[in-house]
Amino acid sequence: MWGDGEEGKSFLYSEVKLVSILEGKESVQIIILTDGGKELRIPISGRDGKYSDCMVMLRFMDRVVADAKKYLYE
């Protein structure tokens, strides 16, 4: 469950339709869209070298979502 300051939003990783960023290597937020039409923007600050930490989070989310869909019924 993720909080947005007013209410928490929850979803299963297997429900994630798209994980994206808007500004490429300089992005400071991840955008998550679910099959049910929910949109969540998660701010991520910081960087390691020339890439923002947002790129690390994007890679992590892509892998977790792929695994959740691959092993949906296990």
- Tens of pLDDT along the chain (74 residues) come to 455 555 666 778 888 899 999 888 788 899 999 888 888 888 888 887 777 888 888 999 999 888 888 887 65
| pTM as predicted | 0.74
Tell me whether residue 74 is in a domain: no
Tell me whether residue 41 is in a domain: yes
Q: Show the domain range for 33.
A: 2-69
Number of domains observed in the structure of the chain: 1
Q: What is the DSSP letter of 24?
A: G
Would you say 16 and 7 are in contact if contact means Cβ atoms under 8 Å apart? Answer: no
Tell me whether residue 61 is in a domain: yes
CB count within 10 Å of CB 16 equals: 21
Q: What is the pLDDT of residue 6?
A: 57
Please name the residue that has the structure tokens 């991840």.
30
CB count within 10 Å of CB 39 equals: 11
Tell me whether residue 9 is in a domain: yes
